[in-house]
Chains A and B, each alone.
Chain A
Amino acid sequence: MAVADLTRAGAPAEPGRDGALLAVSDLRVSFQTPHGVVDAVRGVSFAIGRGETVGILGESGSGKSVSVGAVMGLLDSPPARIGGAIRYGGVDLLKAPVRETRRIHGDRVAMINQDAVTALNPGLTVGYQIAEMFRVHRPGTSRADARRRAAELMDRVKIPSARQRVQSYPHEFSGGMSQRVMIAMAIALEPDILIADEPTTALDVTVQAQIMQLLAELREQTGMALILITHDLGVVAESVARVLVMYAGRIVERGPTEEVIARPAHPYTAGLMSSVPRAEHKDRKLATIEGAPPVLTAIPPGCAFHPRCGRSRPVCSGDRPELEPVTSARDSACHFAAQVFDG
């Protein structure tokens, strides 16, 4: 399974390529704020095929969550200004009317959030909230049937004594159990794609591992594709075949996860790798990336990373590097990608 994923992930994701379930092309999102225009996403393109696993790696403000917010139709416009296209099954999710996109959101493309505790409605039983997926997306499902299937789903995401807990309210659940409830809702209609936006960030370390394990099992059972948003390199390394690295609203590098981690082709990715603590290097001082991520109202010209980059040359502040192949499976948006790649 993992091997198959890796080979499929070998080709760079091109928008609109054959077999892509979801294709994001040249997505741009900006917000008008009192402090100026915030350019959160500045031309992001990627595609995901059936059963694929893709990680979107980046720090806060890199535009990863805003990108999936656009995919899920969660950005209000205004204040957001959204450009580009997001295609799913012949429908442009950015242009189609809500009554059409609503059939896709939650049903074919589902999402779980970072903070499950606040993402659940405190005033409704978890059973009601799970059953609602059937009642809304499968009209004609009886109340009793929806409720029975809610209990089955809670059992499936390994919530102990699921049948009794259908009637419980969210405040009776721990953070980990709440995330399981969110997952139950997300997989209720057997979506083609599950988007997980930092699904374990709010959880204890031991619970994190359990949730990632559960997601992996469910993915194996259902064959759904996974888009995992995270800032955690370790999670990416373990869970996804392909990774996109984002910086200041753009993809700076992409390729098969193992290859990217083993041999980065962008200075930012390289910086991320060397700032991860490793047991075998415990006597070495932990490396950091100099400086701070750019303020999104004033993104540096050229390569947004150049003020923090050790390899910066005059060309870096003048020309913005585009995402270009480094090998057949790898892309990097750096003028000196080949040198970085060759170490």
Chain B
Amino acid sequence: MIANVLGGYFMRRLIGSAVMLFIVMSAVFVADRNIGDPARMILGDTGTEADVLELRLRMGLEDPWHVQYGRFVAGLVTFDLGETFRYGISKPLAHGGIPESRATLPIAAERLPATFLLTGVAIALSVLVALPLGIWAAVRPRTIGDRLVNVLSLAGVSIVEYWFALILILLFAVQLDWLPTSGYGTAAHVILPALALSLRPIGRITQIARSSMLDELAKPYVTAARGRGIPISKIASVHALKNAAIPVVTTIGEETINVITGVIIIETVFGWPGIGALTVDALKIRDVPLIEATIFLLVLMVLSINLVVDLLYALLNPRVRLG
């Protein structure tokens, strides 16, 4: 019964996500076709008019817009988002002629494991630090400990991410030489970028965990549970936390999305070979098909997280399930 209701809820959310993906990617389609001639960008100033035309034909840019759009939408469904003529092509662009090409989506997808690792560590770190910290502060309101948590979480929310990343590099990599400045491969490499990414989520999740726990602990059902002799620890960890978890889960979802957008800068700062760094690389060389592929995957990640949050929300709040 509950499974059925949840199943229907999940299906509705899934369809909603698909519609959202379609809308976002359509906007990307429109934008990308209004920033100049992609073929000219690829071939540069040295490309001949004939080569540009040939490349335009090959890229389908000479087709009417609705044909192009149809192909684009079909590509979304079949995971074929076109080819890059620039990125990762070993043979440099020769004068005259069309360069070789590679499908963009596999290039972008290759970068996903590194990004998943970094965002996963950052979010896990945030939740593991922020949740206990927020709850700890909530059960001792207006004490020195609580005030300290308040100040620190506010600082976490306020500090600019890339500035903090540079400070981390200067302190731990350059001055103390404990950790590598950049790169990928060992556990030591993930520490600094994950720290840089988790600063804001730690602050935000701590704030929300604290305030929603405070709200819950002031509710009549908490007093009633105390009157039944339920230990305070159990009231906080089971009774209040279950209800406080709803805004906290929402915040964790939002912060995960912030982290995903944050990787675009942080991966670049730390030379982390994820999809964020690839996006910046693709932007630098104005590789439109590759930009589309990276945005497609980033949007897919964001929508998946929203879907998971919606599902958790329904599991946590019995009153949502029928809605």
Contact = CB atoms under 8 A, between A and B. Distances in A.
Interface of A: 72-74, 98, 101-107, 110-111, 113, 115, 118-124, 132-133, 136-137, 169, 171, 182, 185-186
A132 B219 contact: no
A232 to B, nearest CB: 21
Contacts of B91: none
Nearest to A99: B231
Nearest to B2: A167
16 contacts: A72-B227, A105-B228, A110-B227, A113-B224, A120-B224, A122-B221, A123-B239, A123-B243, A132-B230, A133-B228, A136-B228, A136-B230, A136-B231, A169-B318, A171-B318, A171-B319
B220 A123 contact: no
Contacts of B226: 72-74, 105
A122 B224 contact: no
Contact of B317 (A120, A123, A133, A182): A123
B307 interface: no
B74 interface: no
A163 B314 CA distance: 24
B141 to A, nearest CB: 11
A123 B242 contact: yes
A186 to B, nearest CB: 8
A205 to B, nearest CB: 23
A102 B219 contact: no
A169 B229 contact: no
B234 interface: yes
B280 interface: no
B143 interface: no
A128 B163 CA distance: 49
Contacts of A105: 226-229
Contact of B219 (A118, A124, A133, A185): A118
Contacts, number: 74
A105 B243 CA distance: 24
Interface string B309-323: 000000011110000
B48 interface: no
**Nearest 3 Cβ contacts at the A-B interface:** A106-B229, A106-B228, A119-B224
A4 to B, nearest CB: 29
Interface residues of B, number: 22
Nearest to B223: A74
Contact of A74 (B227, B231, B239, B319): B227
A183 to B, nearest CB: 12
B234 A136 contact: yes
B221 A119 contact: yes
Contacts of B238: 124
B159 interface: no
Contacts of B319: 122, 169, 171
Contacts of A72: 226-227
Contact of B243 (A111, A121, A185): A121
A135 to B, nearest CB: 9
A137 B221 contact: no
Interface secondary structure of B, over-half rule: helix
Interface string B192-226: 00000000000000000000000000011101111
Most B CB atoms within 10 A — which of A74, A105, A119?
A119
A115 B229 contact: no
A149 to B, nearest CB: 15
Contact of A120 (B221, B232, B318): B221
Nearest to A103: B229
A188 to B, nearest CB: 9
B245 to A, nearest CB: 8
A83 B231 CA distance: 24
B229 A124 contact: no
B227 A121 contact: no
A143 to B, nearest CB: 14
A106 B230 contact: yes
Most B CB atoms within 10 A — which of A72, A123, A182?
A123
Contacts of B225: 121
Contacts of A121: 221, 225, 239, 242-243
Given A123-B242, A123-B243, A106 B318 contact: no
B229 A136 contact: yes
Contacts of B317: 123
Contacts of A101: 229
Nearest to B317: A123
Nearest to A71: B227
Contact of B229 (A104, A118, A120, A122): A104
Interface string B289-323: 00000000000000000000000000011110000
Contacts of B221: 118-122
Nearest to A105: B229
A136 B230 CA distance: 7
A104 B228 CA distance: 9
A79 to B, nearest CB: 12
A111 B242 contact: no
A115 B234 CA distance: 22
A118 B225 CA distance: 11
A106 B243 contact: no
Contacts of B223: 74, 119
Interface in B222-270: 223-232, 234, 238-239, 242-243
A106 B220 contact: no
Contacts of B232: 98
A105 B229 CA distance: 5
B273 to A, nearest CB: 43
Contacts of A107: 229
Contacts of A132: 228, 230
A110 B243 contact: no
Nearest to A102: B229
Interface in B36-91: none
Contacts of A185: 228
B242 A118 contact: no
B229 A119 contact: no
Given A124-B242, A132-B230, A171-B319, 14 more contacts: A73-B227, A102-B229, A106-B228, A106-B229, A106-B230, A110-B227, A110-B228, A118-B220, A121-B221, A121-B239, A122-B318, A123-B316, A136-B234, A185-B228
